Amino acid sequence: MQTTSIQYLKGIGPQRAKSFTARGVQTIEELLYYFPRRYEDRRNFAKISELNESQVYTIKAQILSAGQRNWRRRSAFSITEAAVGDNTGKISCIWFNQPYLKEYLIAGACVILYGKVERYNSRLQMSNPEFEFLDNQDNDSLNIGRIVPVYTLPQGFSQRGLRCIIKNALDEFLPKINDPLPFDLRSRHHLLNLAQSLLNIHFPQDLSLQQQAHTRLSFEEFFLFQLPLVLRKLNRKEKIGISHLVSGRLIEDFISGLPFQLTAAQQKVLAEIKADMASSQAMQRLLQGDVGSGKTVVAAIACLAAIQSAHQAAFMAPTEILARQHYEKISSQLEQLTFNGRKLRLALLVGQDKQKQKIYQKIKEGEIDLVIGTHALLQEELSFKSLSFIVIDEQHKFGVGQRALLPKKGNNPDVLIMTATPIPRTLAITLYGDLDISVINQLPPGRIPIKTLQFNQEDRNKAYALVKQELNYGRQAYIIYPVIEESYALDIAGAKKMFGELKAGEFKEFRLGLIHGKLKTREQNEVMLKFKNKQLDLLVATTILEVGIDIPNATCMIIASAQRFGLSQLHQLRGRIGRGNLQSLCILISDSQTPESKARLAAMVASGDGFYIAEEDLKIRGPGEFFGNRQHGLAELKIANPLIQMQLLKAARDEAISLINQDARLEERPHQLLKAKLFQRFPEYEKLMLVG
Ligand code: ADP
Ligand code: MG
């Protein structure tokens, strides 16, 4: 029954089936898993005479009168207004810019309204309430006198129509439904069975059962999400990889030649990586660390372990600018080192390189020890003599598929994945459940926290003045714009035009550069080089600077139209300054008043801690958005929220581990339904099992 198309249900024809498809629902099972967006308790309605300001209510009332007016004379902005009343009082309801409502709001009709009560001109009113007409039938038991589900409506459906379709589907199919979660697991965690849960998630008998249904269905999502991760990890541990030589002169010489001491956190993480590399199991380790915590040098040391074991290493970065920067920095750090009586051989591999064929050849013949590059490393023609270690920098910039490509060029090489968007440890362990995790939880000593200020657009000259002061001390600065060309529609300034304006005006006594994604890579590199060599004072840029750029003399950053950026992105951008031991200053310019952008900017001003920022970002955006579609099956979580239900997530993960340990291929009888469900959800799971 699960896979039967919803077209066969009463009330759904081809047209409506199509609009459901747009919401990811094609089968009856998917329909049963199409959960309400919220509920209305229609067992008792609020009395109009008892409504309070700024609270949300459901009321049942009669329309007394309705009308429509324009907001201002000749303005296109319309207001529809209805006065409604019950036997205790009256209240006015208004809707903005929905002129078609007028036709529906007929005096005498009975409605249920849901919305927030506000005070306007000393009177209470509901603005933009959601509403539903009542049938004048006494037996409307789906829509009244109970806790009623409210759905996100596919096109062409009404709440009442959809409730009816879902109720019929539940009545018909729940008696036949089997629970994929094994009985003993369910009883260990006191989970409701599937039929009860589906019934109560749609039409809760009471709030406590709705809660239990929610818990059970969330557990199920987490559990199904964990199983493939846990199995992947197990499969990997069974694979034989390369056992590296991790202590030795090369590494020691390198560390003692560094102009600084490794921090305790760097040393701890390095020890974890070394232990993995020494073992013959293939490593898949996630290295989390805030911007500027010094991940690169740790990765470079790990590369040396590969080289001194007579293998090759590859280091992949998401942009050419970053790949170049890593190449230059690591080359200079390795310059003095020798191994087996020769210098180390590094190569840079980026998109448009004319030397590409030559470099390929050398890598293939083992004449390159370490290659640093962009996506160019993924090209099919590239093969290695003996690739044993891989670094993937700023992993969130790569898709899951891309990340999997590079390791195929070696024989179960060790992989180190780095990210500067750290998330809380419990969350990381569960979400990146197939990886081992290391954290650098400390910045190098001597770093002074970046000062972050927020200015209104009209005060931007004050921001410029502060930056000029810094430039006069011989420091450098960035000004970031969200777009290259300005947008009149959105009222945001573009980098190109502002570059011209600032150069001719506010900053005319300074040397300005402009960098953005539409420049040729060669031009980008030239600008970066000039900035690095202090031939430029101020760099006007777009988010092309978001990741990795490391120029310690740059101590100032202005971010224009700051509300246009996500929180993690703002933090990454800010991470371009404060990289030396000078006081740095970041100025966010924004007039935005939306609660969400205010929350983001406030978090930036309040904290420089990447873990805190990531947590706030997760809260503001929710996990699906935060991790993004490309990154994670997480975006597919419909009901579970790993932020709020961390305990449940942990329990689901523990159960997944014990199940995989006991019956990795889910061959035992009580696991058959579960296996079927997994294959259906994650078709690639079948392959995973075969590998194991
Ligand atoms: P990220 O973690 O953001 O990739 P980087 O590896 O680019 O950070 O390091 C930031 C800067 O700090 C670099 O200039 C690097 O040379 C320097 N650095 C790294 N480790 C230390 C340390 N232990 N002490 C002082 N400076 C360090
Ligand atoms: Mg980095």
Is 632's pLDDT higher than 60? Answer: no
- State the Cα–Cα distance between residues 194 and 202, nearest whole angstrom: 12
Closest CA to 316 of 368, 250, 238, 394: 394
Q: How confident is the model at residue 624 (pLDDT cuts 50, 70, 90)?
A: low
Tell me how far the alpha carbon of residue 245 lies from the centroid of ligand 2, in angstroms: 25
What pLDDT was estimated at residue 630? 41
Q: Is there an atom of ligand 1 within 6 Å of 328 CB?
A: no
- Residue 104: pLDDT band with limits 50, 70, 90: confident
**Whole-number Å distance between alpha carbons of 583 and 581:** 7
Find out whether 584 and 450 touch, Cβ atoms under 8 Å. yes
- The string over 623-640, giving b where at least 16 C-beta atoms fall within 10 Å of a residue's C-beta and e elsewhere, is beebbeeebbbbeebebb
pLDDT band at 627 (very low <50, low <70, confident <90, very high): low
Q: Which of 260, 267, 332, 393 to mutate to test the pocket of ligand 1 (most atoms within 8 A of CB)?
A: 260
Report CA(290)–ligand 2 centroid distance (Å): 9
Cα(568) to centroid(ligand 2), Å: 15
Beta strand extents in 207-361 (DSSP E only): 284-289, 312-316, 338-339, 342-343, 346-349
The pLDDT of residue 620? 80
Cβ atoms of 114 and 130 within 8 Å: the answer is yes
Could you give phi then psi for residue 484, rounded to 5 degrees? -80, -55
Give me the mean pLDDT over the 70-85 stretch: 80
Measured from the CB, is residue 263 less than 6 Å from ligand 1? Answer: yes
Minimum CA distance residue for ligand 1 atom 18: 294
Q: Which atom of ligand 1 is nearest the CA belonging to 575?
A: 3
Do 663 and 656 form a contact (C-beta atoms < 8 A)? no
Q: Are 547 and 480 in contact (CB under 8 A)?
A: no
Whole-model pTM? 0.75
**Tell me, what's the pLDDT at 60?**
92
Ligand 1, pocket-test mutation among 296, 329, 417, 576, most atoms within 8 A of CB: 296
For residue range 542-590, list pLDDT tens digits in order: 987 777 788 899 999 999 999 998 888 899 899 999 888 889 999 999 9
Q: What is the mean pLDDT of residues 407-421?
A: 90
Q: Mutate which of 441, 550, 576, 584 to test ligand 1's pocket (most atoms within 8 Å of Cβ)?
A: 550
Q: Rounded to an integer, what distance in angstroms lies between the CA atom of residue 588 and that of residue 567? A: 12
Q: Is the pLDDT of residue 200 over 80?
A: yes
Q: Which residue has the tokens 């990210």?
A: 419
User: Of ligand 1's atoms, which has the minimum distance to the CA of residue 290?
Assistant: 2
User: Is the pLDDT at 150 greater than 80, yes or no?
Assistant: yes
d(CA 262, CA 248): 17
Using a 6 Å cutoff on CB, does residue 325 contact ligand 1?
no
* Mean model confidence pLDDT for the chain: 89
Q: Which residues pair with 556 in a beta bridge?
A: 477, 585
pLDDT surpassing 50 at residue 692: no
Query: Distances from the Cα of 80 to the Cαs of 74, 113, 158, in angstroms?
Result: 15, 15, 21
Averaged pLDDT, 279-304:
92
Residue 54: its pLDDT value, please?
87
**pLDDT at res. 628:** 55
Distance between CA 540 and CA 609 in Å, rounded?
Answer: 26
**283-297 mean pLDDT:** 91
Give the pLDDT of residue 631: 47
Task: Give the per-residue pLDDT at 579.
Answer: 85
Poorest-pLDDT segment among 125-139, 168-182, 468-482: 125-139
pLDDT at 549 (0 to 100): 80
Considering only 422-431, 464-473, 515-524, which range has the smallest mean pLDDT?
422-431
Give the residue-averaged pLDDT of 308-313: 96
Q: Ligand 1 atom closest to Cα of 440?
A: 2
For residue 297, the CA-to-ligand 2 centroid distance in Å is: 9
- pLDDT over 90 at 478, yes or no: yes
217, 649 contact by CB (below 8 A): no
Q: 672 alpha carbon to ligand 2 midpoint, in Å?
A: 45
Q: Which is the closest atom of ligand 1 to the Cα of 552?
A: 14
> Is residue 294 lining ligand 1, measured as CB closer than 6 Å?
yes
Distances (CA, A) of 624 to 209, 388, 427, 452, 631: 26, 34, 14, 28, 10
Q: What percent of the chain has pLDDT over 90?
A: 56
The whole-number average pLDDT for the span 635-653 is 84
> Predicted confidence band at 635 (pLDDT cuts at 50, 70, 90)?
low
Apex 611 CA angle, 607 and 614, nearest 5 = 90
Lowest mean pLDDT among 385-389, 421-425, 436-440: 421-425
Residue 301, ligand 1, Cβ within 6 A: no
User: How many Å lie between the centroid of ligand 2 and the Cα of residue 548?
Assistant: 5
Q: Are 77 and 109 within 8 A, CB to CB?
A: no
Q: Which of 158-167, 301-310, 348-357, 601-610 has the lowest mean pLDDT?
A: 348-357
What's at 96, amino acid-wise? F
CA distance 170 to 33: 11
d(CA 159, CA 61): 18
**Distance of alpha carbon 239 from alpha carbon 434, whole angstroms:** 14
Q: Name which residue sits closest to atom 17 of ligand 1, judged by CA.
A: 294
Is residue 16 within 6 Å of ligand 1 at its C-beta?
Answer: no
Is 423 within 8 Å of 253 (Cβ atoms)? no
